[in-house]
């Protein structure tokens, strides 16, 4: 499923009208009829409620006028409140406003000099609100009576149904423009907008339906849009069942550098993640004094004891041994639990410069390069970085809050600037590729907020890389199945209590669904 910015959506609208020849009124009618059908699903008793359509002055208002006409024809009592003078309406919005007048649906016009509460009573007395105030073209902060009305609508205990995007939301970034509608459901038109699936927009949109309004998909393809919303349908394009004659020797060998004193759990989870993702063989590089511990914890992955520091962390002197072993292997995951000791940090940097196979860099490995991210440009192999917002902030010399405010742009820019595939963790994880591709993950739930989840994900991505998958696809598929496995275990059951090991146990079934297998009764 493609993700578009407001500007891209406007351009596709324009080309559909001018090049394809579908009139704007037809697109508006298609959009509103699709929205009406969805709103009746989201609020099944909608026709029995008194409906208030709150309209602005642009095409979003035009959609609202068509919806008022549709629900009126279905027998609903419909009120229309225009927040600006009808004289400001143009084009298709004006056409549909005039139709309302001709069929006898009265539009109440907001008077900025009038009493606020007296006018807002019209909205308060209704049992549902259709938000048609601002659409995707909003480019400034919401102020004045618009902001007051949005804030008051959010206080009402009734379904609020948003047209295209919740008013006040930047549809390209998910940022709130001063104030924004918190919708029960959003019917968005043509294609999914980025701002609806990233925070905080994803929390404001409610249930989302993409309504086909007649824009040819080929126009989006020709526009070169490379952003995706990672759903089951998208993820399944990147994986297929193995051939019957596959064996462990050709299924990829993943290596792992993880763990130090007190952090053997991280090493274990990464190794098991790589194995559960399908790597034929997995070898863990572990400080030699800790090897007896992990050999008890791990059965299937192998271990290679390496020289260690006095603090039982990987030592720089392990470099020749690791390079010799990994020379003919397919992937390396490194970072979690290795510590930030000076000698260990030096080992990470040397491995980045000399390891020939794709690398997944996480946790302490990311911290090791945060003082000099330019070293990423010198890597001998393709890189996947998997920072959480705090680690991303260290790489940028920024703060987690600044990272969270513009996750899409930050991930995309860093990926292009440093030539790495970047997976920025968090609600709706973002994956960016240096070639401009970007994906937002749809899977996962709040119960994943527990230790070891990131370690498991790092191992899963490494396991997919070891099987020959390209970095962007491996990161996307890894993020999706990681969340999908968590959803299978606990979604709808609880928002806490999930362990990383629970996800790993469920991973084969999550992968199997993408491969096309159905569960046996």
Same structural domain for residues 261 and 220?
no
**Is 352 within a domain?**
yes
Mean pLDDT estimate for the chain: 95
Same structural domain for residues 148 and 297?
no
Same structural domain for residues 220 and 255?
no
Same structural domain for residues 149 and 287?
no
**Is 233 within a domain?**
no
Last residue of a domain, one of 162, 190, 224: 224
Same structural domain for residues 167 and 274?
no
Burial class, 131, CB count within 10 angstroms (exposed 0-12 / middle 13-18 / buried 19+): buried
Predicted confidence band of residue 123 (pLDDT cuts 50, 70, 90) = very high
Count CB neighbours of 21 within 10 A. 8
DSSP at 279: -
Same structural domain for residues 196 and 267?
no
**Is 65 within a domain?**
yes
Predicted confidence band of residue 520 (pLDDT cuts 50, 70, 90) = low
DSSP conformation letters of 378-391: G-SS-EEE---HHH
DSSP conformation letters of 9-38: HHHHHHHIIIII---HHHHHHHHHHHHHHH
Same structural domain for residues 276 and 207?
no
Q: Which of 315, 326, 339 is nearest to 264 (CA)?
A: 339
- Output the domain CATH number for residue 87: 3.40.50.10260
Note down the domain range covering 320.
250-515
**Is 91 within a domain?**
yes
Cα distance from N-terminal residue to C-terminal residue, the chain = 31
Last residue of a domain, one of 206, 224, 242: 224
Return the minimum-mean-pLDDT range out of 115-119, 127-131, 419-423, 491-495. 491-495
The SS3 of residue 355 is coil
Assess contact for 69 and 25: CB atoms under 8 A: no
**Is 445 within a domain?**
yes
Q: What totals of helices (H) and strands (E) does the chain contain, helices first?
A: 20, 19
**Is 520 within a domain?**
no
If one counts the domains in the chain, the total is: 2
Same structural domain for residues 267 and 220?
no
Same structural domain for residues 257 and 203?
no
Same structural domain for residues 356 and 427?
yes
Q: Which of 228, 224, 239, 160 is nearest to 191 (CA)?
A: 228
Query: Can you give the pLDDT at residue 392?
Result: 97
229-247 pLDDT tens trace: 999 999 999 999 999 999 9
Residue 18 has pLDDT above 50, yes or no: yes
Same structural domain for residues 351 and 287?
yes
**Mean pLDDT of the 342-349 span:** 97
| pTM attached to this predicted model | 0.92
Residue 521 has pLDDT above 50, yes or no: no
**Is 35 within a domain?**
yes
**Is 232 within a domain?**
no
Last residue of a domain, one of 224, 239, 264: 224
Q: Rounded to 5, what percent of the chain is helix, strand, coil?
A: 45, 15, 35
171-209 pLDDT tens trace: 999 999 999 999 999 999 999 999 999 988 999 999 999
Assess contact for 459 and 273: CB atoms under 8 A: yes
- Output the domain CATH number for residue 495: 3.40.1190.20
Same structural domain for residues 453 and 511?
yes
Query: Any alpha helices (H) in 335-440, and if so which ranges?
Result: 342-354, 364-369, 389-396, 400-405, 407-418
Determine the Cα angle at 361 with ends 358 and 364, to 5°. 155
454-489 pLDDT tens trace: 999 999 999 999 999 999 999 999 999 999 999 999
Count CB neighbours of 342 within 10 A. 11
């Amino acid at each position: 499923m493609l993700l578009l910015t407001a500007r891209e959506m406007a351009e596709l609208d324009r080309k559909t009208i001018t090049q394809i020849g579908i009139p704007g009124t037809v697109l508006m009618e298609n959009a509103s009829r699709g929205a009406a059908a969805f709103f009746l699903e989201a609020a099944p008793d909608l026709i029995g409620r008194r409906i208030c359509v709150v309209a602005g002055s642009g095409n979003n208002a035009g959609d609202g006028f068509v919806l008022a006409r549709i629900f009126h024809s279905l027998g609903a009592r419909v009120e229309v409140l225009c927040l600006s003078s009808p004289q400001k309406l143009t084009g298709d919005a004006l056409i549909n406003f005039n139709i309302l007048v001709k069929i006898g649906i009265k539009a109440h016009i907001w008077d900025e000099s009038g009493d606020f509460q007296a006018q807002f009573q019209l909205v308060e007395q209704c049992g549902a609100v259709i938000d048609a105030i601002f659409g995707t073209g909003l480019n400034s902060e919401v102020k004045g009576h618009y902001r007051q009305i949005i804030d008051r609508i959010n206080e009402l205990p009734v379904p609020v149904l948003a047209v295209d995007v919740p008013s006040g939301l930047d549809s390209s970034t998910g940022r709130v423009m001063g104030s924004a509608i918190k919708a029960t459901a959003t019917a968005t038109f043509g294609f999914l907008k980025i701002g609806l699936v990233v925070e905080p927009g994803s929390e404001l949109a409610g249930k989302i339906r993409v309504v086909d309004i007649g824009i040819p998909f080929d126009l989006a393809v020709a526009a070169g849009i490379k952003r995706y919303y990672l759903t089951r349908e998208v993820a399944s394009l990147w994986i297929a069942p193995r051939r019957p004659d596959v064996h462990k020797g050709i299924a990829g060998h993943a290596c792992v550098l993880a763990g130090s004193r007190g952090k053997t759990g991280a090493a274990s989870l990464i190794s098991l993640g790589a194995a559960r993702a399908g790597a034929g063989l997995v070898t863990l590089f572990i400080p030699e004094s800790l090897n007896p511990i992990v050999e008890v914890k791990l059965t299937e992955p192998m271990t290679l004891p390496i020289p260690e520091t006095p603090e039982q962390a990987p030592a720089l002197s392990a470099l020749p041994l690791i390079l010799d072993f990994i020379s003919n292997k397919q992937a390396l995951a490194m970072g979690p639990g290795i510590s930030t000791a000076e000698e260990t940090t030096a080992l990470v940097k040397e491995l980045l410069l000399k390891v020939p196979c794709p690398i997944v860099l996480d946790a302490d490995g990311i911290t090791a390069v945060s003082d000099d991210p330019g070293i990423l440009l010198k890597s001998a192999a393709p890189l996947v970085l998997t920072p959480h917002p705090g680690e991303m902030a260290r790489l940028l010399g920024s703060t987690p809050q600044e990272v969270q405010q513009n996750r899409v742009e930050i991930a995309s820019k860093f990926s292009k600037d440093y030539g790495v595939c970047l997976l920025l963790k968090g609600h709706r994880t973002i994956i960016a590729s240096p070639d401009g591709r970007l994906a937002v993950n749809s899977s996962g739930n709040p119960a994943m907020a527990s230790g070891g989840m990131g370690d498991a994900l790092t191992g899963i991505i490494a396991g997919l890389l070891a099987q020959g998958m390209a970095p962007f696809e491996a990161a996307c598929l890894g993020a999706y199945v990681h969340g999908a496995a968590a959803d299978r275990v606990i979604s709808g059951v609880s928002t806490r209590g999930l362990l990383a090991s629970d996800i790993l146990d469920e991973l084969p079934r999550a992968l199997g669904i993408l491969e096309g297998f159905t569960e046996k009764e």
